[in-house]
Structure 1
Amino acid sequence: MPRLPGGRRPGASPLSHASSVSPLSPSALGEAVPDVAPRLRELRRRRGLTLENAAQRAGLSPAHLSRLETGRRQPSLPMLLALARTYGTTVAELLGETPPEREPVIRAGSREPTGADGWTYHQAGGPGRAMQALRLEIPYGAQGDLVRVHPGEEWLYVLRGGLRLTLGESVHELAPGDSAHYDSLTPHRLAATGREGAEALFVHTLLQSPDVHPHI
């Protein structure tokens, strides 16, 4: 999806952003790393990934990941970031830090909408989660030619107006009440079909569905 202020995309970044800004000093990282090996193995198995698939997604060799999971090698911070993105979590969770209690209810009007490249984004979910929920306002003619490709899954539900969703070579016309669910490694575009624009609920996750081929 298009980039929000700060250079991140609303559909592709909250987890990587949350991981990269986790307040971990090098000394704290060094103290916590010895405990990360069993947690890495547990998270991989919980996600249903083989050692080979997880290593490929994180840009590591299977042998290297195996050494990390058995504690024979300590991960660097870039490795932890890559593995956190792969498993849909944060570096803080990988290191066993207890996340702060989150407020489960987001009240109407409690957050200011964000505008980027003509679209308006209303946050509909909490920060630091494994999925990001938004309400999108999509004007006619805005970003219709922007092709997006990134890891994860996307789901959208049309509230108002019409949307044209292009997935690879396929084009789908969506009306109010229609929804779509797809892997976002498939090149995709989204545009309003009418001059009145469109509005949709949108959810993005960093994790892919298990029936797609592993990616680098």
Structure 2
Amino acid sequence: MDAEMEELLAAIGPRLRSLRRDRGMTLAALSEATGISVSGLSRLESGLRRPTLELLIPIARAHRVALDQLIAAPATGDPRVHLTPLRRRAGSVLVPLTRYPGRLRVFKQVIAPCPRRLVAHDGYEWLFVLAGELLLVLGEREITLGPGEVAEFDTAEPHWFGPNGDRPVEILHIFGPQGDKARVRARPEGPPGHQD
């Protein structure tokens, strides 16, 4: 085995420990979630046990991250992302932008005109309009959003969204299945001397 591969494998244990600690998980909790013994996980994190797919796949699932996040796979040299659009009802397209199970799921959507049907379910949604006009119905309220505008709402409230009119609308859609919100940390700077 070459030195680069040895270095890649040696970095996995500390990365696993850091990920687990960042998520506030104990070895016992991770053991329960993965079916891997506490001692096996400890040896893996300390580099005393060689990482295998049989060990890494359950850990990736427990942390809800892509497997290549655990191993920091080297770049292939091709920066393109190959997304597979899913065709929906006539004219609508859904493109999943996250390709692994996670707390927040991100989609790009082109929504064709469709009948209103309010739904309610657990979760939290965040919608950003890229092009066209979006009509968002929340209970009794109707809100129209244009390009660059954002809406966020608890999906326990009956809701529906689609084009405002007879032309499709294009949006970015973030969904948190357990009510997780998208957190925006950056703020535009105000004029010099401006304070919040």
Between the aligned partners of 1:170 and 1:68, the Cα distance in structure 2 is 51
- Give the distance between the partners of 1:179 and 1:210, measured in 2 at CA: 11
Query: How much identity, in percent, do the aligned residues show?
Result: 14
Letter paired with 2:128: L
Preserved contact between residue 135 and residue 161 of structure 2 (Cα < 8 Å): yes
Alignment deviations for residues 147-176 of structure 1 (CA, whole Å, 9 cap, x no partner): 5556x864422632332254xx78562321
Q: Which residue of structure 2 aligns with residue 83 of structure 1? A: 62
The answer to whether 1:163 aligns with 2:135 is yes
Q: What is residue 201 of structure 1 aligned with on the other side? A: 171
Does structure 2 conserve the Cα–Cα contact (< 8 Å) formed by 1:34 and 1:71?
A: no
What secondary structure is seen at the aligned counterpart in 2 of 1:60? helix
How do 1:125-204 and structure 2 match up within 5 A?
Answer: 132-141=106-115, 144-147=117-120, 149=122, 154-157=126-129, 159-166=131-138, 173-177=143-147, 178-181=149-152, 186-187=155-156, 189-192=159-162, 194-196=164-166, 198-204=168-174
- The TM-score normalised by the length of structure 1 is 0.47
TM-score with structure 2 length normalisation? 0.50
For 1:103, what is the secondary structure of its paired residue? coil
- Whether the aligned pair in 1 keeps the contact of 2:108 and 2:173 (CA below 8 Å) is yes
| Number of residue pairs aligned between Structure 1 and Structure 2 | 160
The 2-side partners of 1:113 and 1:35 are apart by 35
SS of 1:191 mapped into structure 2: strand
Match of 2:44, SS? Answer: coil
Q: Hey, what's the Cα distance between the residues in 2 that align with 1:134 and 1:200?
A: 7
C-alpha distance 38-155 of structure 1, shift in aligned 2 (>3 A): farther
CA drift of 1:201 comes to 2.0
The alignment yields a C-alpha RMSD, in angstroms, of 5.1
Deviations along 1:57-108, whole A, 9 cap, x unmatched? Answer: x9729x96796255389864652341352xxx311331343243443699xx
CA contact (8 A) 1:123 1:135 kept: yes
CA distance in 2: counterparts of 1:70 and 1:116, whole angstroms: 47
Whether the 8 Å contact between 1:141 and 1:191 is mirrored in structure 2 is no
Q: Post-superposition shift, 1:179?
A: 1.0
Which has the larger Rg?
2
Structure 1: how far apart are the matches of 2:127 and 2:109?
A: 12
Change over 3 Å in CA distance of 1:38–1:176 after alignment to 2: same
